[in-house]
Amino acid sequence: MLILQIVVLALIQGITEFLPISSSGHLLLVPVLTGWPDQGVLTDVMVHMGSFLAVIVYFWKDCVKLLMGLIDMARGQKNAWGRLALLIILGTIPAVVLGVILDKLGFMDLVRQMPIIVAWNAIIFGILLYVCDRFGMIQRRMADMTAMPALIIGMAQAVALIPGVSRSGISMTAARALGFERPDSARFAFLLGIPAIAGAGVLKLGEALHTGATISTSMILTAVLTFFVALGTITVLMKLIRHMSLLPFAIYRVGLGVILLALIYSGMPLGAVN
């Protein structure tokens, strides 16, 4: 890949993975809007792994506590962190099940050729993000998380397998609709995404390598750059979200969707990725 393409992909993935605006949708649009060759699924996996490592680093204290909590639960010692770890595992199940089904049906390869899906999802879920954030009650915190809310948020996260939805966006939307505060909604969304991103990344990476694909130096470089951009993005977002609503992200999503639809229906050849 060109150096410019590496930098662009890293910036897009690192910024959009954790902002509620859909990283997969933006990655899908890069070759469509630039004319560059499609970076391919393996590159997408590598940049997602860069994002994954950024979450682990930022939330390393939470990750250690979750792991120790699970170990304590296995020993028969109940505690809050072990309980939260089990809720995260529960919330991950819908994405795993739906992901396997869609992958077997070849759905993910199909949607890579349909930018119009990204456009409509950007608009629909952008409006939903605003509505749930604006009118959602603020009455719950992370400590109030139980099995049913975790499962509902997990089911919402599963929908983000469709490009343009946004994993963090739909997870925060569901959490806000259920009455969780913005910072806790974002925190749970990020923690919930750890096993989902890791699992999908390992699966796709294994499949690609099994077919003979190789990880190039440019892919590794892209992943490394993504890690640093993503780490910065999480840091900034977690500070901003304590003092601002999700309205700017909703406006961006709707604006992006409208522009893409205008380009598509004007006849610009955005219907397939080269």
How do residues 199-216 score in pLDDT, each as one tens digit? 877 877 877 777 777 888
pTM (2 d.p.)? 0.87
**Is the per-residue pLDDT at 27 higher than 50?**
yes
Q: List, in sequence order, every residue forming a beta bridge with 14; answer none if it has no partner.
A: none
**CA-based nearest residue to 175, from 121, 207, 132:** 132
Q: Which helix (H) or strand (E) holds 12?
A: helix 3-16
pLDDT at residue 82, as a whole number: 95
Confirm if 238 and 59 have CB atoms less than 8 A apart: no
% of the chain exceeding 90 in pLDDT: 48
Rg (CA), the chain: 18
Q: For 8-17, 59-68, 106-115, 141-150, which range has the lowest pLDDT when averaged over its residues?
A: 106-115
3-state secondary structure of 156: helix
